Structure 1
Amino acid sequence: MTEPPEALSTAEQPGAGARTEPPGGPGRRRRGPVVLARAVEALPRSVNGRAVLAGTAVSALLVLAIVFGSRLLRDYDSALLPYAVASVFLAFGVAYRYTVWVSAPGARRLLARGWGSFFSADNFRQAPTAVPRMIATYLGFQKFLGARSHARWAAHQLIFWGCVLAALITFPLTWGWFTFTSGTGSGPGYEMRIWGVKILGFDALSFVGWVMFHGLDLAAVLVIPGAAYFLWRRMKDRGAMTGQRFAYDMVPLLALIIISVTGLLLTFSSLFLHGGGYEFLAILHMASVVFTLVYIPFGKFFHIVQRPAAVGMQLFKYTARRDDEIFTCRRCHEPIDTGPYVENLRGTMRDLDLGFDGWAEYCPRCKRVLRGNAYLSQVKKGFQ
């Protein structure tokens, strides 16, 4: 435990505008800029090198999976080549940015604690249903969004399940893993094959057949209202408009709507227009999908890749809460969180060399009070 802020002079309190002496005394402070400059110069190179290596390895593995999963390209549809190339770029971008992300101290600790809790035999014996329950809660139904707004939760669910359905259909088809072939020479019977193995036979004119061939249309019907709600909110809600950025907040929603609308228009053209405008719509749809796949690793959609880490952290907090007492604020004695969670936060702050990790032992309200008192006693008094 560190000395509480009340025991320090207000000039030394974080947030009071004063600099504290770094560990090691004045001599270390003189050497600090040199060491820091060398670290800043070396770290990006090492992180970037690992990220490029990880991206290249994942991309190569995906290319091999496409080749062998399509039975040496026998089941591969060359018309889907742009989608496959975009998915390879997606794999590189996700692996690259994920490697950079986990190189940060906070993310590295988050993953270490999460995976440690996930693979713990003791945790499984004590709470065997915790992992599936948290996966359903935080990844599937995202109940935490319901606390903000029921409408936002419903819209997010529409987008989430629509995108999941579209991904489960699009990627295997694009890579040649799924194939639909006629079961007979003249009848409506079809066969769905995975890696060349027959999985299901169905009648193309039945309800099952209709769902099979219109799965992407169903996904589009789910995505459009969800994305439209968030787009409307971005244009009307003052709180959302304050900090939004066009490329980060608006472009993902517009991309989802364009993909969904052009996909539905392809079906409309084939059913009601006898293929009129189909080629133009197909190119427009393909361009929007390719752009979105390339955009995912470097935009707002990257939180899809980061979200599973929240499951591990929630599991860590849950198992720690079962075994340890709740840590209370050192000032008001209100509960904060479990002891291991607070210590993990302090460790992250020490890794970042923030110099005020002791403040993790105080609740948010007490932090604001202490900072306000430091401001009144040290900063404002100078203007009297």
Structure 2
Amino acid sequence: MLNNRNILLCVSGGIAVYKACALTSKLVQAGANVKVIMTESACQFVSPLTFQALSRHEVYTDTFKEQNPSVISHIDAADWADLIIVAPATANVIGKLANGLADDMLTTTLLASEAPVWIAPAMNVHMYDHPAVKRNISVLYQDGFRFIEPSEGYLACGYVGKGRLEEPENIVKLAESHFSEETNAPLEGKHVVITAGPTREPVDPVRFFTNKSTGKMGYAAAEAAISLGARVTLISGPVSIDPPKGLHELISVQTAADMREAVLSVFDSSDIVIKTAAVADFTPKSVSDHKMKKKDGSLVIELKRTGDILKELGRKKQRQILVGFAAETQDVEHYARKKLDTKNLDMIVANNVKTAGAGFGADTNLVTFFFKDGRRRELPIMSKFDVSLEIFREIVAFSEQSVERS
């Protein structure tokens, strides 16, 4: 999948530069065309000559060093790349990129490029956990950058913890997967049903009960499914988001009862169902035909339970893969696993909505996947579109394993 792909490797200064040498070699061996940009600090750890020998291309180290007068180097490199990988990415370079600074060849080139940019951090565990670094990473996620989460282990500083640059072999696999998705449609022929947004439970002609859901997660999931070749039905509560291009069908609903009816109408034809919608658990027992007037004293509105759509789908499912969401404020794993079991789900995506960057209305999410086989997978903070891609990667892998077992 990497054959003749143009990969621009941006190397910033840290002890993990030695791994960038191995990454260059493995990318070239996999068939990629690799060009390298080094910061001044990176050159203190490894000579540019090393990367030149491994990549078989001249190494960029200086914005003002123009070897070819017919082009401007940082623009030429930016236009050339199919994919940009910043590895290792120091706290310094992450901060520069988050704030749009361009004071060297690396940062100037990235500002000029429209290629996907992946950032692979490598730093001390406390630096990686610093609020400023977390804030900069969050900004970059919202700007569309993708992060390759560092692994845990012994660090050069002597600490043991998260901060090790991901192994070159794994980065190469991620790159292969990226280009595989560009050329293949792993969800082609699949009917994906996604629910999104809130429901509104009427009290009278002018009032209703609702929640804080904006629909961003569900709409991002629909966009991701379309990009992977699926035929997507989006069932949406009232939101202020335009539906993604390429959508097969949009079903707009208001109440929990509307949502149930819409989901059941397409469930039998579906292959994958992802329930991101925040459906009301209760609805008024009676709805006034006229606007309720203000009166002295308190007001009591009696509520009744709405139907549990996800549990009903869990009982009905046969070949479908069913994914639920758990938005919690405490004991996230306990409630997520309970929901996973009681509703017969294949996978549940859980988060603490009180965590910064993970609540309703945010463009990012911080989630953990729980699976019916007992596994869990914790993701770093990332855009809701990237979270959706990870969900579908798990679904594709699950489907492939099911085929192998059969």
TM-score range, shorter chain: under 0.3
Answer with 1 or 2: which has the greater Rg: 1
- Higher relative contact order by CA 8 Å / sep ≥ 6: 1 or 2? 1
Give the alignment's TM-score, normalised by structure 1. 0.22
Greater helix proportion: 1
